[in-house]
Amino acid sequence: METNEPLHFNGNVPNTGLITNLPYGSCVEVPCLADASGIQPTYVGLLPPQLAALNRTMINVQELATHGGVTGDREAIHHAVLLDPLTAAVCDMDQIHQMVDELLTAEAAWLPQFS
């Protein structure tokens, strides 16, 4: 942006209708152009349904985790981690609850909303 030399890259930006079958406001990675005018993301449109479904799975986890973090809702954090496909593949529900509780306890100094 400083040199006005155009740079094309894939960037993470808020979804302002760039990918039409993903939630508005979610973070999406799209082709971007950066120059003296700033960062200009590219409209993508519809993803193939299987790719949109995979992305929505992770967006749901991120939305729940964000809600829990902002509001201090421990249950939302538990639900987010329970819905994470990788975590669910290697831990059962009891292990996930225990892990989340241990993490929130270990990081309590930085997460006062969960006190």
Number of domains the chain contains? 2
* Full residue range of the structural domain in which residue 26 is found: 7-41
Is residue 4 classed as helix, strand or coil in its secondary structure? coil
Per the domain annotation, does 114 fall within a domain? no
The CA distance from 80 to 61, in Å, is 5
Query: Does residue 58 share a domain with residue 30?
Result: no
Alpha-carbon distances of 59 from 19, 37, 40, rounded to whole Å:
13, 30, 23
Per the domain annotation, does 37 fall within a domain? yes
Query: Does residue 105 share a domain with residue 53?
Result: yes
Alpha-carbon distances of 103 from 60, 100, 110, 114, rounded to whole Å:
21, 5, 11, 11
pLDDT in tens, 9-62: 999 999 999 999 999 999 999 999 999 999 999 999 999 999 999 999 999 999
Per the domain annotation, does 2 fall within a domain? no
What band does 3 get if pLDDT is binned at 50, 70 and 90?
Answer: confident
**What is the value of pTM for the model shown?**
0.78
Query: Does residue 58 share a domain with residue 90?
Result: yes
Query: Does residue 83 share a domain with residue 102?
Result: yes
pLDDT in tens, 53-110: 999 999 999 999 999 999 999 999 999 999 999 999 999 999 999 999 999 999 999 9
Which of 20, 42, 39, 38 is closest to 29 using CA atoms? 42
